[in-house]
């Protein structure tokens, strides 16, 4: 026996008059319970609404563009008596379970630092798996690091609420655990409400669970970060968000970025980017080729560096400094069993120069009309890893000795190679050093790592004949390249910074004081 059911919008949290942006079913479709039927979009998130029952769609009661709220009719569904009975049995069978000591506990994304929309690149568990407390459940990857998220409790995986490729925020539901313990379960349940207002809607009933996706993509968006309202505007304007450089936190595309992009197209008289594209060539016509995908770090760092290069008016000044005295001292310490790399001396010298030239340890504010001078001295150190370039931050360099810095650099370098850097390990730099001394080369032009305003490139030292006024003397010379944002720093300021840095590096006493 069949019956017609009216499927209504369930409780989706603190939302009302949410717009219908997509209808995922048609009249005559046969759907299963929990199949998505429509997609809604608020100013904060987009969400798919599932059907609580199985059956055949007989009528669709809403249209694209409608604003709907809890209780509004979505579709009419013809379901069989068997489905109704199985639903009733499921509801009845769930009652005794609720009376036992077994609890279903939600596991959400914990605080992982100043990151949002972090991508799920690996799901390490399956439904039914028995887990111990602190077992890893998923791996997330930002533009700077990957991280494993552990479960805060022991138990059995009851359901997995995310998929590979999803972008997660603090407080998002990862999975549900079936735990027989009460103390730990209650603790996790109490912690969950302390998260910020959920981006996934509250669950009104098991059959009415709404899954939220931050990436509605009628227009391709690539890896762009943008709010649903910006994505909606991009769809209306026909703009591919992957071509828009975001100036917000973590490269998020803001309203001003999107409008500026459209304005640029209009004023340039074109239909695409004002920068001409390189030609597309089929290289296989000339010989054998192999397609090798870039790592995610390569893609994201490449996009960031492209934005830095296009938005910052770069100036690079080159110089060489006599480091004979520094190298003599370093070899003396090595003979005593103290291993110090040239980089730690350069770091200490840079900090002394930054104290004398505060503009180099600053950032432009959002308006571009004010400087934010940083009173702390944290250095980003560019490091090469098997997955690409990363820039961990060494904090409070001014308060650490050469030996302390040498130890911390070695530990940080090992973590970077093993992919174990945490998001917080790569935040808070005021100035960056990129050293190719261990690899080779005479000079290079480093790209300023925005929102910083300067970066120092270090190449391999060489012994050269230097004229001392009477004779040519073999001298160990270190090539330096200082790139800076010309909106903040002019050539005279850059020259003075480099001159003072050279003076500090030449006289070991300046570094040791």
- Encode burial over 109-141: b for 16+ CB neighbours within 10 A, e otherwise: beebeebbbbbbeebebeeeeebeeeeebbbbb
Integer Cα distance of 172 and 195 in angstroms:
9
Told to judge if 304 belongs to the known catalytic residues of this protein, a careful annotator would answer: no
Please, are residues 323 and 342 in contact by the beta-carbon 8 Å criterion? yes
Strand, coil or helix: what is 329? helix
Residue with tokens 């005279």: 492
Strand, coil or helix: what is 410? helix
- Which among 225, 304, 314, 486 is annotated as catalytic? 486
Residue 361 tokens, joined: 């340890």
Neighbouring residues of 153: CB distance < 8 A, sequence distance ≥ 6 = 105, 107, 133, 177, 179, 181, 184, 185, 188
DSSP letter at 244? Answer: S
How buried is 266 (Cβ within 10 angstroms: 0-12 exposed, 13-18 middle, 19+ buried)?
Answer: exposed
Integer Cα distance of 428 and 379 in angstroms:
8
Query: Mind telling me the catalytic residues?
Result: 486
């Amino acid at each position: 026996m069949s019956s017609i059911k009216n499927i209504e919008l369930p409780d989706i949290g603190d939302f009302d008059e949410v717009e219908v942006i997509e209808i995922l079913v048609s009249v005559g479709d046969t759907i299963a319970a929990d199949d998505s039927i429509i997609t809604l979009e608020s100013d904060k998130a987009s969400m798919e609404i599932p059907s609580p029952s199985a059956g055949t769609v007989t009528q669709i009661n809403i249209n694209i563009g409608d604003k709907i709220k809890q209780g509004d009719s979505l579709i009419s569904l013809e379901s069989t008596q068997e489905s109704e009975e199985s639903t009733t049995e499921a509801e009845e069978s769930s009652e005794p379970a609720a009376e036992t000591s077994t609890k279903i506990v939600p596991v959400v994304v914990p605080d992982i630092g100043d990151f949002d929309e972090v991508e799920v690149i690996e799901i390490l568990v399956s439904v039914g798996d028995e887990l111990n407390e602190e077992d890893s459940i998923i791996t997330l990857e930002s533009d700077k690091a990957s991280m494993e998220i552990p479960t805060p409790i022991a138990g059995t995986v009851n359901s997995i609420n995310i998929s590979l490729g999803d972008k997660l925020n603090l407080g998002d539901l990862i999975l549900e655990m079936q735990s027989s313990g009460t103390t730990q379960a209650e603790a996790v349940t109490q912690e969950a409400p302390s998260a910020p207002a959920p981006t996934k809607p509250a669950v009104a009933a098991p059959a009415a669970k709404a899954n939220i996706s931050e990436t509605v993509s009628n227009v391709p968006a690539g890896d762009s970060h943008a709010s649903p309202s910006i994505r909606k505007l991009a769809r209306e304007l026909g703009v591919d968000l992957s071509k828009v450089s975001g100036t917000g936190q973590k490269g998020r595309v803001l309203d001003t970025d999107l409008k500026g992009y459209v304005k640029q197209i209009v004023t340039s008289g074109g239909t695409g980017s004002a920068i001409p594209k390189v030609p597309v060539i089929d290289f296989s016509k000339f010989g054998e080729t192999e397609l090798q995908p870039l790592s995610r770090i390569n893609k994201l760092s490449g996009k960031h560096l492209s934005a830095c290069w296009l938005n910052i008016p770069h100036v690079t000044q080159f110089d060489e400094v006599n480091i004979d005295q520094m190298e003599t001292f370093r070899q003396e310490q090595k003979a005593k069993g103290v291993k110090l790399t040239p980089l730690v001396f350069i770091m200490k010298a840079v900090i002394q120069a930054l104290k004398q030239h505060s503009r180099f340890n600053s950032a432009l504010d959002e308006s571009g009309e004010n400087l934010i001078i940083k009173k702390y001295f944290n250095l980003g150190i560019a490091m090469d890893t098997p997955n690409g370039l990363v820039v961990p931050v060494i904090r409070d360099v001014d308060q650490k000795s050469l030996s302390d810095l040498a130890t911390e650099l070695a530990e940080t370098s090992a973590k970077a190679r093993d992919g174990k850097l945490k998001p917080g390990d790569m935040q808070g730099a005021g100035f960056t050093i990129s050293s190719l001394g261990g690899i080779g080369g005479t000079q290079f032009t480093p790209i300023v790592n925005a929102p910083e305003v300067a970066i120092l490139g270090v190449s391999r030292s060489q012994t050269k004949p230097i004229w001392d006024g009477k004779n040519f003397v073999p001298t160990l010379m270190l090539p330096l390249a200082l790139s800076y944002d010309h909106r903040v720093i002019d050539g005279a300021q850059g020259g003075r910074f480099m001159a003072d840095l050279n003076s500090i590096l030449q006289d070991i006493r300046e570094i040791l004081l």
